[in-house]
Amino acid sequence: MSATANTIPAYLPLRNDLIGEEPYGAPQLDVPVCLNVNENPYAPDPAVCEAIARRVLEIAPTLNRYPDREHIALRRAFSDYIARESGVRLDVDQLWGANGSNEIMLQLFQAFGGPGRTALGADPTYSMYPEYARDTFTGWRLAHRNPDFTLDLDALVAAIGDIRPSMVLITSPNNPTGTPLPLEDVERVLDACRDIQVAGAADGVRPIVVIDEAYVEFRTPGTPSAVELIERHPNLAVSRTMSKAFAFAGARVGYLAASKGIIDCMRIVRMPYHLSAVTQAAALAAFEHTDEQLARVDHLRQVREDTAAWLKTQTYQGEPLQVAESGSNFLLFGGRFDDRDAIFDGLLARGVLIRTVGPAGWMRVCMGTDEEMAHFRDALVETLRDVE
Ligand code: PMP
């Protein structure tokens, strides 16, 4: 698959602030080993595929009608899943679904951002956030993380006080670094927002804190998710997705767990019938097979640990590669590559696609199947030898 070049004739009245912008997205190249977009590399098993086909066949005769706008059955399934995965039971009106957590995030910006408002993140972070901000005319500001990519809480708390944002947006575990986020840090951010008056808003309006938990299932077993804090913090929103651990990226299903008040704000900005009946049916079928869908998560976590240990034994210009601590299904590695493009090209020439992303000197690789990881290792050894 290769995209056509984006050419926009000058006579089109594209918004001034969008002129010169490029469509976002990692390259979609036809390469044997794709380790660049943090997917689960294991396909749904045949029983799941059959269940999806059956559920979609069941609703096909109703496709002349609009779907359930409130996607109640699916919100119940999110509730069951979170109860099982994180041990927290939320009501249907504390949950909300959309086409990927990308759409969840956009809806958050539509509801809580806008002209005169600012969202605050912690750099390095997910590269789509500035795009949601741009598309909703929301200011986007960053506090910097520590050199080991953990949150610099003092800097973040100071920035919250200075900027008085309407949204504080933190990724947990972080992308592209993989850094886990302890619950105490989330609580400190929530505490810092408690007495903040959002700039330009009415008296008593406080920031919301959004924790993007796209990769949360890959965290160390036994560590808590931020969903545990929802009951006590009505201004906390936790975004999740079926795209990563749940191995369902192609279906485009993300969801938000938050207070009923926040969910009701999302309902104002959503497009009518934004989740198709086909999407809802497919997601319900997948949730019926949660065990199978999550079957490889433990293994992928182990592959991450093995790969991190192996990467640290490899050298670049005589020094061992650095590897950032990760609670995710990917690793940020390198640390001092002075020509990342040469590493990227060397791997690509050997059939392996990874991602040039994050701070200078680092690259990100997502965990694949065992065969794919063996291929990655061989390709990296050869590439490092060539660029020396
Ligand atoms: N948040 C983070 C941190 C991500 O890395 C991604 C995907 N790369 C998303 C959200 C969006 O994922 P999706 O729309 O597939 O749910």
Q: How confident is the model at residue 6 (pLDDT cuts 50, 70, 90)?
A: confident
- Ligand 1 atom having least distance to the Cα of 253: 16
**What is the arrangement of strands in the sheet containing 139-144, beginning at the earlier edge strand?**
95-98, 254-258, 236-241, 208-212, 167-171, 118-123, 139-144
Ligand 1, atom 2: closest residue by C-alpha: 214
pLDDT at 3 over 80: no
Q: Average pLDDT for residues 261-268, to the nearest whole number?
A: 98
HSE, side-chain direction, 13 A CA sphere, residue 25:
8
pLDDT at 249 over 80: yes
At 26 the pLDDT is: 81
Whether ligand 1 lies within 6 angstroms of the CB of 179 is answered as no
At 231 the pLDDT is: 97
Q: How confident is the model at residue 5 (pLDDT cuts 50, 70, 90)?
A: confident
pLDDT at 298 over 90: yes
Q: Average pLDDT for residues 221-226, to the nearest whole number?
A: 96
CA distance 89 to 131: 33
Q: How confident is the model at residue 1 (pLDDT cuts 50, 70, 90)?
A: very low
Whether ligand 1 lies within 6 angstroms of the CB of 100 is answered as yes
The ranges assigned to domains in the chain are 16-43+295-387, 46-293
At 111 the pLDDT is: 98
Distance (angstroms) between ligand 1 centre and the Cα of 64 equals 31
At 25 the pLDDT is: 82
Distance (angstroms) between ligand 1 centre and the Cα of 314 equals 30
Q: Average pLDDT for residues 91-110, to the nearest whole number?
A: 98
- DSSP secondary structure string, 60-90? GGGTTS---TT-HHHHHHHHHHHHHHHS---
The CATH architecture one would assign to domain 46-293 is 3-Layer(aba) Sandwich (3.40)
Whether ligand 1 lies within 6 angstroms of the CB of 212 is answered as yes
Fold classification of 16-43+295-387 is Aspartate Aminotransferase, domain 1 (3.90.1150)
CA distance 176 to 26: 13
CA distance 309 to 215: 21
At 203 the pLDDT is: 95
> In the predicted model, what is the mean pLDDT of the chain?
96
pLDDT at 378 over 70: yes
**One-letter identity of residue 106:** L
Whether ligand 1 lies within 6 angstroms of the CB of 246 is answered as no
If one residue of 175, 181, 274 were mutated to test the ligand 1 pocket, choosing by the most ligand atoms within 8 A of its CB, it would be 175
Three-class secondary structure of residue 323 per DSSP: strand
pLDDT at 273 over 50: yes
pLDDT digits (tens, 9 = 90+) for 39-75: 999 999 899 999 999 999 999 999 999 999 999 999 9
Whole-prediction pTM? 0.97
Ligand 1, atom 1: closest residue by C-alpha: 214
pLDDT digits (tens, 9 = 90+) for 303-356: 999 999 999 999 999 999 999 999 999 999 999 999 999 999 999 999 999 999
Distance (angstroms) between ligand 1 centre and the Cα of 39 equals 10
**One-letter identity of residue 69:** R
Write the burial class of residue 30 (CB in 10 Å: 0-12 exposed, 13-18 middle, 19+ buried): exposed
Whether ligand 1 lies within 6 angstroms of the CB of 249 is answered as yes
pLDDT at 291 over 70: yes
CA distance 34 to 258: 34
pLDDT > 90 fraction of the chain, expressed in percent and rounded: 95
For 74-96, letters b (16+ CB in 10 Å) and e give bbebbbebbeebbebebebbbbb
